[in-house]
Amino acid sequence: MRRPFIAGNWKMNNLAADTASLINAVRPSVADVTGVDIAVCPPFTSLAAAAHALAGSNIMLGAQNCHWEPSGAYTGEVSPQMLIDAGCKVVTVGHSERRQYFAETNETVSKRLAAALGAGLHVIVCCGELLSEREAGNKEQVVESHIRGGLGDLSPEQMSSVTIAYEPVWAIGTGVTATPEQAQEMHKFIRGLVGEMFGSGVADNTRIQYGGSVKPDNVDELMACPDVDGALVGGASLKAESFARIVKFQAK
């Protein structure tokens, strides 16, 4: 049985004081939650405040990206070792906004992933298609390129520290959510790919999150899908009440 994993991606939001306030509001609301892994991923400048506010809680600290080198002349970048030093347990790589705005590629995703795993972080690897790619009938090819290009160099053992997040780009921040049927179809496809690459045992144990306008009023239906193992939550994770309700999903 795969343990559900709900993570909040705060993107470029919240100063340090806002971060502490939000975490202090979320903590008591989810303190009684068991059987679900929970993480929040604030911006780099708020990691220290977040680590302090999260101390002793059941919420893990995550970051939104990392470089593939441990140190060096990479102005503006943050290494996996720096994230661990800040208290992080989790990092996301390959988010569609990184691909869209910052020239992220399957190759750089693969390098970031390997470096993060090597440093001891749990990694959420994102994949997902544009609306134009879905409408052209290429959604599986795009997602397969992300999965094989990003995860292809890993060993089966390393996959135990990887969560895959399927985020259809057309549903991110748009208010449009993939239907449970659409989400389940793609998650099943992704699990099949993982099985081809690493074996059925690894595929059965790999968690696949859904991301893309996840809200309190749709999370229950999404989490009821057999291959949806959690959520990577954007805007709804910036409000304590809505994020807590998502963490406390009621899969039927």
Catalytic residues: 95, 167
Strand partners, 74: none
| Whether 244 contacts 30, CB under 8 Å | yes
Q: Please count the CA atoms within 13 angstroms of the CA of 12 that sit on its side-chain side.
A: 2
Contacts of 230 (CB under 8 A, 6+ apart): 4, 5, 6, 7, 36, 37, 163, 207, 208, 209, 210, 223
Contacts of 14 (CB under 8 A, 6+ apart): 22, 42, 43, 46, 238
**Count helices and strands in the chain by DSSP H and E runs:** 11, 8
CA distance 28 to 58: 10
Report helix angle 240-247 to 16-30, nearest 10: 40
DSSP, residue by residue, 151-163:
HTT--TTGGGGEE
Find, among 112, 92, 69, 233, the residue nearest to 163 by Cα.
92
DSSP structure class, residue 235: G
